[in-house]
Structure 1
Amino acid sequence: MKIIIAPDSFKGSLTAIEAAQAIDRGVKKAFYDAETVLLPVADGGEGSMETLVSATDGKIKHTPVIGPLGNKVEAAYGVLGDGKTCVIEMATASGLNLIPEGNLSPLQATTYGTGQLIKQALDDGFSSFIIGVGGSATNDGGAGMLQALGLQLLNENGHEIGYGGGELNRMKQIDMRYFDKRIKDCSFRIASDVQNPLTGVNGASAIFGPQKGATAAEVALLDENLMHWANKVEKTTGIKLHDLPGAGAAGGIGGAFQAFFPGDMKRGIDVVLDYIKLDEKVIDADLVITGEGQIDSQTASGKTPMGVAQAAKKRNVPTIMIAGSIGKGFEVLYDFGVVSANSIINRPMPLEEAIERAEELVEWSAEQVVRSYFFQKLNNNGRLNT
């Protein structure tokens, strides 16, 4: 019996690695001799760096950078097991998680620290990059990142503008003379599920600005400033970011990558699955178990459990999902090789208790689902029927 264990994190309670370990313990309680392969996964957002580093026996390097509000923070980048590929999770330098509750400031928040991470990796000799852009606190179009890499954004007096999306309307000129020359010889794969354009009603400011603390008035100002930014970028590079799919990712940093960096954008879960080689490891498996905090109709839009199920279905391997909660519309997942979706909650309990007990509840749920799934498939000798 071979079972692939490939969950995402249960946000607020378990990392993907902790969830995988808990599922593994549950499986072994049911079938102590089962062969399990732990492949914790992520979708390009928070946890992706740790997942990829763990799956490839890589390492993590820490470095101080300027955080989203200009304060110094301890960020990190990962090096995959090949020793050649650098993984940067922008949330470690420019993420919402770095801002204390009640202090969100979308007009001032900067991606400068993300640029510093890239520069440090360049200094360390890396030229192949994976960039996860989920969880950002920023709406500056990636301007801060570019400034950290030498791009000069000048005001009418020829001086650098300040940090944040609120400053973009003061920019009169983009000067590329000092932009890091090493970038043109690198490759950048941007892991993002966001297809929003940079500006307009579906743009970065309108759709994601409120999540970062922007009021209605600030959303309008930020969108206007990103329009100004896009006009200047088009004049400088010839690339029109205004309505370009994916340009609105992470407050517009998706557009900065498309305009100034060689590379491509790809669905986050696909980037991760490529590197952990799930497609190969699932070939001779009997079952895949995946999950995350909540499973509902939105899971089918490209979230981690859905990507795992799709990869398993290609090899005709069934998938079972477990989650903290099961929401409306989850039944659509049955069309993609999912056998069942199961909540870890085994009795009525407050949310706080469920979060505190998540590890034991995931373990319990995993034991129950494999006992149920394999009951009819096992003969009296405890072997799989064929």
Structure 2
Amino acid sequence: MKKIILAFDSFKGSASSLDIARSARKAILKEYPLCDVVSFPIADGGEGTTEAICTGLNVNKVSCAAHDPLMNPIEVTYGITKDGTTAVLEMAAASGLPLVPDSLRNPMNTSTYGTGEVILDALNKGCRRFIMGIGGSATNDAGIGMLAALGVRFLDLSGNVLEPKGSSLIQIASIDDSCLHPALKESFFTIACDVNNPFYGLQGAAFVYAPQKGASPDEVKALDEGLRHYADIIRIQRKMDIASIPGSGAAGGMGGGLLPFLHAELKPGIDTILDIFNFREAIRNAGLIFTGEGKLDVQTGMGKALGGILKIANEESVPVIALGGCVEATELLNEMGFTTVLSIQPSPVSLEQAMLAEFTLDNIGRTITQVIRLVKAVTPAP
């Protein structure tokens, strides 16, 4: 086999996509020393998106001061292309759930202000194009924190400036964007998100995601009411209906909340990354694609990272083998188009052992070795 593609998402909590690719590459080359093994680190808009995109672009890493979701000072790293025009960032770096201790998690109190500070830093460095992943947030503020850092003021009925956090949404009476950073008029944002939820409602930002960010049932209802109220304000003052736009509920409503103020496009995270990598062109002469993630189930082929890979691979008639630490719904995944779906676990093991990076990488290498040996038996190496 002349060419094999590696396109692994991370096995979250265990091994990164880059480490998985290294282990897989080693296993393939041991059996096929002359094979062209091409690796694409994969992410879908959340944690790891910046790292994945930066490997596909000519990027310098830079850092800036910002604030975490509870407004504690932190330092955030993001990427700027070497021509200085494009910033690559993920909102989780400044506004992500892992930045908030378990005991303090509550999207009523968290803010995306820090994400706005990162954008501000990039604007001041001359960037006018932005690629931003918005998965993994700790927030449900509809992006008002981010916008506040960029100069927008959110006022209550008395004209007082509100603190830009989730609990403030219901109090917003008017929006003053007269001090919005002027460079935003000539800037464009590609927003990479991995969900299609509407802004509010039973499938919206609050009801679906706020509980895992620490909200109680009553707080979930309050946040949803805040999102409904904010959407009404936007509809009246900005003449835009963001309520049912697919993906507007991403990142606690940031997906929809930024659309009235920025030149932006919401795009599935995996599509954004695969476009940057020219993935379709890269796989056209490949004999096989290996992909995978920690858990393979009915959601795997439906719009997230592996689903995006599978769609293009099927269109280009390249077989796809998916590896997972845990595998469910094998027959359904085969029906979706995966050629083979395999668990990497050699035997029943504890969750603690299964999550060890070294154990995961060894099992990935072992599994791929067995697959390649089978391929060699029916397709001799060139």
Per the normalisation by structure 2, the TM-score is 0.95
For 1:305 and 1:124, how far apart are their aligned partners in 2?
35
For 2:268 and 2:340, how far apart are their aligned partners in 1?
25
String of CA shifts for 1:90-132, please: whole Å, max 9, x gaps. Answer: 0001000111223212101100011111111111111111111
Residue 336 of structure 1 deviates from its aligned partner by 4.5
For 1:6 and 1:197, how far apart are their aligned partners in 2?
29
Per the normalisation by structure 1, the TM-score is 0.94
Show the 5 A alignment for 1:140-179. 140-179=141-180
Given the alignment of the two structures, is residue 367 of structure 1 paired with residue 333 of structure 2, yes or no?
no
For 1:143 and 1:35, how far apart are their aligned partners in 2?
47
For 2:153 and 2:286, how far apart are their aligned partners in 1?
53
Residue 175 of structure 1 deviates from its aligned partner by 0.7
Partner of 1:353: 353
What letter is aligned with 1:364? R
For 1:119 and 1:159, how far apart are their aligned partners in 2?
24
Q: 1:80 to 1:343 in 2, by over 3 A?
A: farther
Partner of 2:207: 206
Given the alignment of the two structures, is residue 38 of structure 1 paired with residue 34 of structure 2, yes or no?
no
Q: Contact 1:312/1:337 (CA < 8 Å) preserved in 2?
A: no
Partner of 1:303: 304
For 1:325 and 1:164, how far apart are their aligned partners in 2?
37
When the two chains are superposed, the root-mean-square deviation of aligned CA atoms in Å is: 1.5
Give the secondary structure class of the aligned counterpart of 1:298.
coil
Partner of 1:271: 272
Q: 1:20 to 1:249 in 2, by over 3 A?
A: same
Give the secondary structure class of the aligned counterpart of 2:300.
helix
String of CA shifts for 1:334-365, please: whole Å, max 9, x gaps. Answer: 24542101111112211111211112111212
For 2:118 and 2:314, how far apart are their aligned partners in 1?
37
Residue 57 of structure 1 deviates from its aligned partner by 3.7
Give the secondary structure class of the aligned counterpart of 2:115.
helix
Q: 1:323 to 1:217 in 2, by over 3 A?
A: same
What letter is aligned with 2:233? K
Give the secondary structure class of the aligned counterpart of 1:321.
strand
Give the secondary structure class of the aligned counterpart of 2:87.
strand
Residue 306 of structure 1 deviates from its aligned partner by 2.0
For 2:275 and 2:344, how far apart are their aligned partners in 1?
29
For 2:330 and 2:150, how far apart are their aligned partners in 1?
44
How many percent identity over aligned positions?
Answer: 38
Q: Contact 2:291/2:323 (CA < 8 Å) preserved in 1?
A: yes
Partner of 1:293: 294
Give the secondary structure class of the aligned counterpart of 1:324.
strand
Partner of 1:343: 343
Structure 1: gaps spanning 5 or more residues: none
Size of the aligned set, in residue pairs, is 379
Q: 1:211 to 1:195 in 2, by over 3 A?
A: same
What letter is aligned with 1:355? M
Q: After superposing the two structures, state which structure 1 stretch, 204-213 or 307-316, moved more.
A: 307-316
For 1:316 and 1:4, how far apart are their aligned partners in 2?
13
For 2:230 and 2:292, how far apart are their aligned partners in 1?
40
Structure 2: gaps spanning 5 or more residues: none
For 2:335 and 2:84, how far apart are their aligned partners in 1?
39
For 2:91 and 2:321, how far apart are their aligned partners in 1?
31
Partner of 2:244: 243
Give the secondary structure class of the aligned counterpart of 1:300.
coil
What letter is aligned with 1:151? V
For 1:337 and 1:242, how far apart are their aligned partners in 2?
34
String of CA shifts for 1:229-286, please: whole Å, max 9, x gaps. Answer: 1222222211122333322111010112221111211111111000011111111111
Residue 180 of structure 1 deviates from its aligned partner by 1.3
Partner of 2:8: 7
Q: Contact 1:299/1:330 (CA < 8 Å) preserved in 2?
A: no
